[in-house]
Amino acid sequence: MIALGFTIDKVLEAVEDLGQTRLLGHLRGAFNFGVALISLGLVALTIACIQHWRLQKQLVPDPGRRPFPLSIAVGGLMVLFGAAALIDVLWQVGPF
């Protein structure tokens, strides 16, 4: 969802730069849809990471024996990249 929302924004940005806005009509609706997809993806991924962490704690109750799951690290990293994408889409600030 994050990638699709970011792609929608970048495609609309390219179409707008080309001056072909008459092809798409009202750009604001598509922009809002892209922002909504990015936001929904971030919320879903954050909730999934929290749920996974809680499940890990239930499966291995001894904190000394519980390994740190790589999936949490990857999910957290994806949340950070998604947040950077959202900031870029909303305020055009960032490396994208």
Q: Output the pLDDT for position 24.
A: 61
Q: Output the pLDDT for position 73.
A: 92
68 DSSP 8-state letter: P
> Which residue type sits at 65?
R
Series of mean pLDDT values for 10-residue runs along the chain (96 residues): 87 77 66 90 95 89 82 93 89 75
For helices 27-59 and 2-18, what crossing angle results, to 10°? 160
Q: Output the pLDDT for position 75.
A: 93
Q: Output the pLDDT for position 23.
A: 58
pTM score of the predicted model: 0.79
Cβ(41)–Cβ(5) under 8 Å?
A: yes
Q: Output the pLDDT for position 40.
A: 95
Burial of 24-47, coded b for 16+ CB within 10 Å and e otherwise, reads eeeeeebbeebbebbbebbeebbe
